[in-house]
């Protein structure tokens, strides 16, 4: 534990630290490592009281869809649920973020990410880590309609076309595109898709490689399942793909 604390708090990002992160961050240290990697700690130190300000600022336009979506954002974790102590915290962080960045506001899917952060950290820290994920790690591109063909998605499309041309044709012939599934899974950073232990392991790598990692991961999933998908015909094809994770 002392080695991790030294690596993330006293020196710049190094190959040694990257190697340790890619092997997996201890669960008890994820809050510390993630906040340091995205520089949220420095922002918190300079912006005391800002989270409380945005939390207290009314925003009925955002609160209504947040309240509507919140029941769906129930993780298989004791801290969440209709009676869970952290459920209101999800709404609080989402409300504050909608005030912090009104150009993006609230969008469906954000709740999954915030809920996962709150498993590891308090509201204020989760808020600033989410802010950094949206800005520094470009997650905002998942939630802004004008960014529908953003750079990372285009790279995924091109990589898929080169690596899996037969599979791409097969999926398109069934009325979909591989990128639709990639966005569906990556938009929530896989929180509702995989067991949380797997999700957090993926996030460890995400905090190093940014959103390209999630698209590369989806490409790997399709590569491993290509033969089985090509054997499906009709509605079974899309049903099978949806069940891949």
Residue 219 confidence (pLDDT): 93
Residue 15 confidence (pLDDT): 65
Are the CB atoms for 186 and 145 separated by under 8 Å? Answer: no
Residue 19 neighbours by CB distance under 10 Å: 9
> In this structure, what token pair is assigned to residue 165?
């041309």
Are the CB atoms for 129 and 93 separated by under 8 Å? Answer: no
Residue 130 confidence (pLDDT): 98
> DSSP per residue over 132-195, as a string?
HHHHTT-GGGGT-GGGTT-HHHHHHHHHHHHH-HHHHHHHHTTT--HHHHHHHHHTTTTTTTS-
Residue 101 confidence (pLDDT): 96
Q: Which domains does the chain have, with CATH numbers?
A: 1-35 (no CATH), 38-137 (1.10.8.270), 148-242 (1.10.472.80)
Tens of pLDDT along the chain (245 residues)? 566 656 556 555 556 777 778 888 889 889 989 998 899 989 999 998 999 999 999 998 999 999 888 877 665 555 566 555 678 899 999 999 999 999 999 998 899 899 999 999 999 999 999 999 999 998 998 888 665 567 888 889 999 999 999 999 999 998 888 988 888 888 889 988 888 899 999 999 999 888 888 889 999 999 999 999 999 988 888 889 988 87
Residue 148 confidence (pLDDT): 58
Separation of alpha carbons 128 and 44, rounded Å: 7
CA neighbor of 210 nearest in space, from 165, 155, 163: 155
């Amino acid at each position: 534990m002392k080695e991790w604390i030294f690596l993330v708090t006293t020196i710049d990002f190094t190959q040694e630290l990257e190697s340790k992160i890619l092997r997996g961050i201890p669960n008890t240290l994820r809050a510390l490592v993630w906040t340091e990697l995205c520089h949220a700690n420095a922002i918190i130190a300079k912006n005391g009281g800002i989270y409380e300000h945005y939390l207290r600022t009314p925003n009925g336009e955002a609160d209504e869809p947040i309240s509507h979506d919140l029941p769906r954002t129930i993780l298989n974790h004791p801290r969440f649920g209709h009676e869970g102590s952290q459920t209101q915290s999800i709404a609080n962080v989402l409300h504050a973020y909608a005030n912090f960045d009104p150009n993006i506001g609230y969008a469906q899917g954000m709740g999954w990410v915030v809920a996962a952060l709150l498993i590891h950290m308090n509201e204020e820290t989760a808020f600033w880590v989410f802010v950094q994920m949206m800005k520094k790690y470009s997650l905002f591109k998942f939630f802004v309609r004008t960014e529908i063909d953003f750079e990372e998605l285009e790279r995924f499309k091109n990589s898929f076309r080169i690596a899996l041309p037969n599979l791409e044709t097969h999926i398109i012939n069934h009325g979909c595109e591989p990128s639709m599934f990639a966005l569906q899974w990556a938009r929530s950073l896989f929180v509702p898709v995989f067991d949380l232990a797997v999700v957090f392991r993926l996030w460890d790598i995400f905090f190093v490689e940014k959103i390209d990692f999630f698209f590369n991961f989806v490409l790997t999933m399709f590569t491993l399942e290509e033969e089985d998908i090509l054997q499906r015909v009709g509605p079974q094809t899309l049903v099978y793909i949806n069940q891949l994770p």
